[in-house]
Structure 1
């Protein structure tokens, strides 16, 4: 499974705004769309996909299973509901969105259900999101690292998740960086802005190019067509090693997403 390097995220996008963002992304050339059950926009994403004119086989679609549906007898029915909303016969990638709070549902149980969903043809690939090293170890023990396409985690210059990244890389599991622009905070950084000015790029392109240089996939979102276009072009921006090192120095463990049910972070 080839996970596209840059995808269009849809977190916090609702209604017509979600439809327009996905429609613009597909029109601009994005071929990975990321959504989730809890986002409440799968139907809008499905509408945009259906109306885009882009052949289904050319678009990589990811959704994520919410914590209420992680039990073995609940996961597949919930995935079928997602498919109905998305107007799809199958997903390209289905992830556990968050580990079960307090370990109520064992990782092995949810991973087994995901494997079954794949066997049934409901999804081409499976993976996890917001998994720590101990939880990722449980997932690997349950289904084997080759069956885990990605671990989608918050990752940006201020939270580089180096321990998780190193562990995942050692097991051949790619990270997908969500919130890669740190809610826009990184765009105001003087160092990033200086690099962008020198390279005639946008600060967002510099931040995304840094993540890409690390080997991560990224799923930035935007409601603005111009920003979507610029973000996609980050794949062509090559940073010098000195620029990468300068951004490496930003790491301060600044986590922006930490719901009360989150696991004990590494």
Structure 2
């Protein structure tokens, strides 16, 4: 029995020593080569990854730089176009400005513009001749002329201002001196019918240009010996066309 126990102890001892020697056995040349190759592959893989990363970063940096350059180029082009547009607009704006001196040298305006001035002047005069005085019940007679009280204008100056957009100061003063009077601090204007008038739309129209002056003559044949006629005269003053003569003036 003791012998059997000794034999078992010996076998266990031998087995333990053998396993220990196998675990601590150094690598042979082949194992060493494989380990080196494995390490080399790892290093190479790391290097490839590093190179790939560097290439990506370089490509990204290059693309970013190119994008920035493209943006700067586009911005430069836009700015240049904007400057060109501003210059063109300024030139166009300057070309559209009316030079009063040039206007005086070339007084011609379109026929429709002339008729628009005539119609506006006509309405301004009608607001006075067919205004409150015409329908007034407070009437006075002076030198066989009937006058109605003016209630829609408070002064001669106010009445004159309503005519200034279309008539010269001389024409306005001539008209008011002839038809407007003041009695007891009140304004009175001549009342009565204007007589026969020509119709602008169905009358023969003749327009004459003479330097800074335009004369418009309306005529209408009623019979062989009866011809109606009205003359309007416009003059260019400080770049503005104003009437110096109208039917009433």
Whichever structure has more strand as a proportion of its residues is 2
Higher RCO, Cα 8 Å, sep 6+: 1
TM-score normalised by length of structure 1: 0.21
Larger Rg: 2
